[in-house]
Amino acid sequence: MKARTGGTPELLPPPPALYARLLEEALHEDLGTGGDVTSDAVVPAGARCRARIIARQDGRVAGGGIACEVFQRLDGTLRCEIVARDGADIAVGEIVLALAGRARPILAGERVALNLLAHLSGIATLTRSYVRAVEGAGVRITDTRKTTPGLRALEKYAVRCGGGSNHRFSLDGAVLIKDNHLALAGSLAAAVERARRSAGHAVKIEVEVETLGDLEEALAAGADAVLLDNMDPATLRQAVELVRGRVITEASGGVTLDNVQAVAGSGVDFISVGALTHSAPAMDLSLEIEPSD
């Protein structure tokens, strides 16, 4: 079978070091100390099968290679063919993965593989919806750090599969001065000055602002980017006019599929959406098995 590809640029999955322990712990959690007692009791040890993971809804695929790794951790001789590559759009009834080999390891890995593949594909599918909603507006949809603990590398990869961009991966990735920092720093200007001294000239400093007055203060303090927090589209347009391209603008807070077009119409550079990772519904997938020689 020829692998089905999508319209997104080449996607580089995260390095295995960022998720290998996750797969190990997920399998241990599901198999417990006794393994798959049902399959071991019912399925002959030498039984072989062919299996397919099939889409039960339209969507965008993410995590096919991760799902293959789950099965191959249980049996390195299993053949796992990626039919729909990450970033590909897929319709109901189409095949995502095809497996062949010993039946027991396939059954044992089914739930962990499906959980991860469905979750990541759900994120990619929701991200695709946001990206399509703002197509032509010249704005980029980006994620946040509102990810499932332990799954950040995979969830942010799924966002890229959906055509979105990644914000900072972790707290050490960039300086982002938010309201709670400002509450403790004394003033916005003081916070930016301290950040600049600490981070050095090569690091960009972003400041969260809630009003146009805050925005003017951030610009005067020398911020490189501003996060326009919970502003309505009309205020966002005023903010963009005030900035006049001098710094990067990011809209955040309260963004939904219903209002993202209006937010994009304000002219901001980025729209960050926490829902991409914390509220995406899992894609409906199933594994179907048939015996083989």
- Encoded tokens for 264: 């994009």
- In the sheet that holds 205-209, the strands lie side by side as 140-142, 270-272, 248-252, 225-229, 205-209, 175-177
Instruction: Tell which residue, 125, 157, 120, 159, has the closest CA to residue 140.
Output: 159
CA–CA separation, 208 vs 234, rounded Å? 18
State the DSSP string of 155-175: HHHHHHHTT-B---SSTTS-E
CA–CA separation, 11 vs 165, rounded Å? 12
Asked if 82 contacts 88 with a C-beta cutoff of 8 angstroms, the reply is: no
- Encoded tokens for 191: 């916070």
Residues acting as catalytic residues: 111, 146, 178, 208, 229
Instruction: Tell which residue, 152, 167, 125, 136, has the closest CA to residue 257.
Output: 125
- Encoded tokens for 183: 């509450």
Any idea which residue has 């403790």 for tokens?
A: 184
CA–CA separation, 44 vs 171, rounded Å? 50
CA–CA separation, 112 vs 42, rounded Å? 20
